[in-house]
Chain A
Amino acid sequence: MSYGRRVAIVGAGKTAFGAFADRDLRSLAVAAGRKALANARMEPGTIESFYLGNFAGPEFTGQNHLAPWISSSLGMTGIPSTRFEAACASSGAAFFQAFMGVASGVYDAVLVVGVEKMTCQPTARVTEILAGAGDGDTEVRVGSTFPSLFAMIARRHMHDFGTTREHLASVAVKNHENGALNPDAQMRKVITLEQAMNGRPIAEPLNLYDCSLISDGAAAVVLCAADRAREFSDKPVQVLGVAQASDFVALDRKRDITTFPALKAAADSAYKMAGVTAKDIEFAELHDCFTIAEIVAMEDLGFVERGRGGFFSLAGGTRRDGTMPVNASGGLKAKGHPVGATGVGQLCDIIQQLRCEAGDRQLKRHSLGLAQNLGGSGATCVVTILGCY
């Protein structure tokens, strides 16, 4: 496989994540897009292709044909403008396509926006829409929800490896601690281990504190050919590796549900492309849609041995001062999880660290970061490795 031309990120911007009754899907997407363009000192007319990551805009808001609806509002017409849907990995998937557009030499400059507007629906309806990312013919039909799928992963992980309720809670406590320092986070509240272990049950053994939030928000990045990066940014970021992989949608089609084969495949490819190993990665933004997902991702990425993710988390290894800081942004748990915006949102968080712009959350080692974006219960995974110039 050839990796094509080198690609840089020259602009990044996102809205705060939260519940915004006065903001619709388009205004969120446009705000993030404008911020990213301004950050790249780029006019909309320079963009040659537009990529939108969005999971369920039509179901949440009734609007379809979302990509040109948004890009035209950003002042872009006459270019390809397409929406990518891959459940909660929608904007990770859009980013991967955008990367290939530039790496292939077809485009010099492209814009990726991820967006989701979720809080306009009641929780039971949100649960139903999110369940659309599962297999409707099998697991969803019997009453599985997304929390319940990850709850079944957690149960089996606890059974096979001795992962405990306390381990799961430690992920939530750490992510809340980081989120409290993030001005753009939805949940800026520190919680105790005891609180996190005793939340209202959602799908046993997961409780409220194991679950990410229902959020509105958008995030955007501008990609360009690396040899033109300095035209647009004083602080360009290198896309060192990016890969996407797929798996079965139904959890019951997998032989072992305590690992995500798509995550491992994407990670292997991204590491190889970047010419690095797990040991070289200095910090990461991982897809903690549920606490157990961060634990499994730690293991599948090779940051810890299989089965040790929970132990490592409880011991503080993933805190900002730990040996492998994870979700210094607050993660999906505290920062918020507007599902279609999450993948690009993670990249914005990595970029902020690489550029040394993370304020109170700035990490000591911040030259090589990894983002991992998961769709469904693991049927899509995108892994991206970014570095400084």
Chain B
Amino acid sequence: MRTGTVYTETVVHLAPTKFAANVPYQVAIVDLEDGERLTARISGDRVAIGDLVSETESHHEIPYFRKS
């Protein structure tokens, strides 16, 4: 499981048709430990810049992270 640090985040309230049923949901850009950067969904508690997160699961090829 990949781990990383939240570089930035937002909570989406107005979504495209495809994700309209999911709002509000959190999206974050995560700095992974290997130096890569990734845009991911956040599950569970809301996270803030600097929070440590780890990957939980992947739904329909969407990476999900949660607060470590």
Interface residues of A, Cβ cutoff 8 Å to B: 123-125, 127-128, 131, 138-139, 141-145, 147-148, 151-153, 155-156, 159, 200-206, 250-253, 257
Question: Using Cβ atoms and an 8 Å threshold, which residues of chain A touch B15?
Answer: 124, 127, 143, 145
Interface residues of B, Cβ cutoff 8 Å to A: 7-20, 22, 24-25, 27-29, 37-41, 49, 61-63
Question: Using Cβ atoms and an 8 Å threshold, which residues of chain A touch B63?
Answer: 142
Q: Distance (Å) between the CB of B57 and the closest chain A CB? A: 13
User: Contact at A155–B9, with CB atoms within 8 Å?
Assistant: yes
Name the contact of B18 in the complex, choosing from A128, A147, A148, A257 (C-beta under 8 A): A128
User: Contact at A152–B8, with CB atoms within 8 Å?
Assistant: yes
User: Contact at A145–B8, with CB atoms within 8 Å?
Assistant: no
User: Contact at A203–B12, with CB atoms within 8 Å?
Assistant: yes
Question: Using Cβ atoms and an 8 Å threshold, which residues of chain B touch A138?
Answer: 38-39
Q: Distance (Å) between the CB of B54 and the closest chain A CB? A: 17
User: Contact at A143–B41, with CB atoms within 8 Å?
Assistant: yes
User: Contact at B29–A152, with CB atoms within 8 Å?
Assistant: yes
Name the contact of B61 in the complex, choosing from A127, A141, A151, A205 (C-beta under 8 A): A141
User: Contact at A148–B10, with CB atoms within 8 Å?
Assistant: yes
- Bound-state CA distance A266–B37 (Å) is 26
Sample 30 A-B pairs with CB under 8 A, ordered by A number: A124-B16, A125-B16, A128-B16, A138-B39, A139-B39, A142-B39, A142-B62, A143-B41, A143-B62, A144-B12, A144-B27, A145-B12, A145-B14, A147-B14, A148-B10, A148-B27, A152-B8, A152-B27, A152-B29, A155-B10, A156-B7, A201-B13, A202-B13, A203-B12, A204-B10, A204-B13, A206-B10, A252-B29, A252-B39, A257-B29
Question: Using Cβ atoms and an 8 Å threshold, which residues of chain A touch B19?
Answer: 143
Name the contact of B10 in the complex, choosing from A124, A152, A250 (C-beta under 8 A): A152
User: Contact at A124–B20, with CB atoms within 8 Å?
Assistant: yes
- Bound-state CA distance A336–B40 (Å) is 31
Q: Which residue, B12, B19, B62, has most C-beta atoms of chain A within 10 A?
A: B12
